[in-house]
């Protein structure tokens, strides 16, 4: 295939920010690092704008950081079909576009980008073809993942250098936090919070309030708002910290993706959720707690444990147990307040564990590079 490759990436925002968070990150990386001419079709530009302030929610087409962003709607007219087409998270391509793909002299490489899971079956399904029942097209399933044989994780060039430079420069952290109106005391355990509404936030706030050591909990606007209002008696607002016992709670703005990375780098512990923030927490190399996207019949518990067992491998038994108990409790299985002291005590061990874990995850190549290699192989 002649390069530059053209690639169309379709993203339907089901709920939350993960769909567009992953697609936007992937689109930028394909354009910047692989010279791909990317068109990103998004059905909800307002959600997109929360992650990237430059997005014009009314524009049919706009250029953003090397990517052509198109508004995806019923009446959309697409003239040319790209060399490669990615349907993110089974979002189903428009019928007209699919027919045009089939009519193209050389069929495009058609990929369904799947959700991230650490389950063992993923490597066996990664890359499998699925012929279309009527059209002369084959769709391939591309799975991100945590081991060799999967598509790996999204990680852009230079990320580790930027993180390491930030970590090596105490002024960079202080300046960044000060820009958010945050001024931690030297002893504060600085914690970021991003979770779904079902998380036992009140139990966490109780635990931090009663902890012997001080904590500064930073909460992006809109996150856990109901639980925090109920606990503090008022809605959290930036610039108005709430103090109770050992806890200082402070709202911060919802950040764009690069600044959200800086927030993760700046914290001693990060509560993250879903898919993309969970991956970024691993590159941040700070201890983290994952709130997994809830699924029917508790299917997410299997996914949580599949990841957790990989992650605690190599930790001392007490650290592994404390981690399991806190993560389970945070995901609705156990008492977070009871498990907090042991978890807090093993944070130094988790901090030591993170660089090795991050390097291990990076050893499988990054998702964008693996995707390009896969596309070349199919062609």
Please identify every residue annotated as catalytic: 19, 275
Q: Does residue 214 contact residue 185 with C-beta atoms inside 8 Å?
A: yes
Q: Confirm or reject binding of residue 241 to ligand TRH (CB under 6 A).
A: no
Quick one: CA torsion of 317, 320, 321, 323, rounded to 10 degrees? 160
- Closer by beta carbon to ligand TRH, 109 or else 265: 265
Beta-bridge partner residues of 244: 247
Cis peptide before 4 (omega within 30 of 0): yes
Sole binder of ligand TRH in the list 2, 15, 168, 233 (CB under 6 A): 15
Q: How far is the CB of 166 from ligand TRH (least distance, A)?
A: 17
Mode of pairing for the β-strands spanning 67-71 and 37-42: parallel
Sole binder of ligand TRH in the list 8, 19, 43, 114 (CB under 6 A): 19
The dihedrals phi and psi of 291, each to the nearest 5 degrees, come to -95, 110
Q: How far is the CB of 354 from ligand TRH (least distance, A)?
A: 18
Q: Confirm or reject binding of residue 274 to ligand TRH (CB under 6 A).
A: yes
Cα–Cα distance, 83 to 375 (Å, whole number): 9
From 16-24, 80-88, 205-213, 307-315, give the range in contact with ligand TRH by CB under 6 A: 16-24
Q: Confirm or reject binding of residue 236 to ligand TRH (CB under 6 A).
A: no
Q: Confirm or reject binding of residue 254 to ligand TRH (CB under 6 A).
A: yes
Q: How far is the CB of 291 from ligand TRH (least distance, A)?
A: 8
- Closer by beta carbon to ligand TRH, 70 or else 273: 273
Which residues, in sequence order, are CB contacts of 260 under 8 Å at separation 6+? Answer: 220, 277, 280
Query: Contact letters (x/-) for ligand TRH, 42-61, by CB under 6 A?
Result: ---------x----------
Size of the site for ligand TRH (CB under 6 A): 22
**Helix residue ranges, H only, 126-256:** 159-167, 170-179, 201-210, 225-232
From 152-160, 164-172, 226-234, 249-257, give the range in contact with ligand TRH by CB under 6 A: 249-257
Question: H or E stretch including 304?
Answer: helix 299-312
Q: Confirm or reject binding of residue 225 to ligand TRH (CB under 6 A).
A: no
Structure tokens at 67: 């990517």
CA–chain centroid gap for 106, Å, is 34
Q: Confirm or reject binding of residue 282 to ligand TRH (CB under 6 A).
A: no
- Closer by beta carbon to ligand TRH, 195 or else 346: 195
Q: What is the 3-state secondary structure (H, E, C) of 161-195?
A: HHHHHHHCCHHHHHHHHHHCCCCCCCCCEEEEECC
Which residue, judged by CB position, is nearest to ligand TRH in the bound state?
18
Q: Could you say which residues in the range 102-161 bind ligand TRH, by CB under 6 A? A: 115
Cα–Cα distance, 253 to 177 (Å, whole number): 11
From 66-74, 268-276, 328-336, 347-355, give the range in contact with ligand TRH by CB under 6 A: 268-276
Q: Confirm or reject binding of residue 306 to ligand TRH (CB under 6 A).
A: no
Q: Could you say which residues in the range 21-40 bind ligand TRH, by CB under 6 A? A: 21
Query: Contact letters (x/-) for ligand TRH, 171-210, by CB under 6 A?
Result: -----------------------x----------------
Which DSSP string corresponds to 75-112?
Answer: T----S--SEEEEETT----HHHHHHHHHSSSPPEEEE
C-alpha pair distances (Å), 335 with each of 247, 329, 347: 19, 5, 18
Binding site for ligand TRH (CB under 6 A): 14-19, 21, 51, 115, 194, 220, 254-257, 260, 273-277, 293
């Amino acid at each position: 295939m002649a390069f530059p490759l053209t690639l169309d990436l379709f993203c339907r925002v089901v709920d939350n920010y993960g769909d567009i968070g992953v697609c936007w990150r992937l689109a930028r990386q394909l354009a910047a690092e692989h010279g791909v001419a990317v068109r990103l079709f998004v059905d909800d530009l307002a959600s997109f704008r929360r992650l990237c302030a430059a997005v014009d929610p009314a524009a049919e087409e706009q250029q953003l950081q090397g990517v052509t962003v198109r508004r995806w709607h019923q009446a959309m007219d697409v003239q040319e079909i790209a060399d490669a087409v990615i349907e993110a998270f089974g979002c189903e391509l428009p019928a007209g576009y699919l027919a045009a793909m089939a009519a193209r002299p050389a069929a495009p490489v058609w990929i369904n980008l799947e959700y991230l899971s650490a389950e063992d079956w993923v490597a066996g399904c990664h890359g499998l073809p699925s012929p279309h029942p009527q059209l002369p097209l084959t769709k391939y399933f591309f799975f991100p993942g945590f081991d060799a044989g999967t598509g790996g994780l999204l990680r852009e060039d230079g990320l580790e250098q930027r993180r390491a430079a930030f970590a090596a420069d105490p002024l960079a952290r202080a300046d960044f936090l000060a820009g958010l109106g945050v001024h931690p005391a030297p002893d504060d355990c600085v914690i970021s919070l991003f979770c779904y509404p079902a998380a036992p936030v009140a139990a966490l706030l109780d635990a931090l309030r009663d902890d012997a050591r001080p904590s500064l909990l930073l909460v992006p606007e809109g996150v856990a708002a109901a639980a925090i209002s109920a606990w503090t008696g008022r809605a959290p607002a930036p610039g108005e910290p709430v103090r109770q016992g050992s806890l200082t709670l402070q709202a911060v703005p919802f950040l764009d993706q690069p600044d959200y990375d800086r927030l993760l780098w700046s914290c001693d512990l990060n509560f993250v959720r879903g898919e993309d923030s969970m991956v970024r927490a691993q590159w941040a190399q700070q201890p983290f707690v994952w709130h997994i996207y809830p699924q029917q019949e508790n299917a997410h518990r299997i996914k949580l444990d599949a990841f957790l067992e990989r992650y605690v491998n190599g930790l001392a038994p007490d650290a592994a147990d404390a981690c399991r108990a806190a993560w389970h409790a945070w995901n609705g299985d156990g008492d977070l307040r009871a498990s907090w002291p042991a978890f807090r005590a093993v944070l130094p061990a988790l901090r030591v564990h993170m660089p090795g874990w991050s390097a291990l995850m990076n050893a499988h190549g990054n998702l964008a590079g693996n995707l390009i290699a896969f596309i070349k192989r199919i062609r």
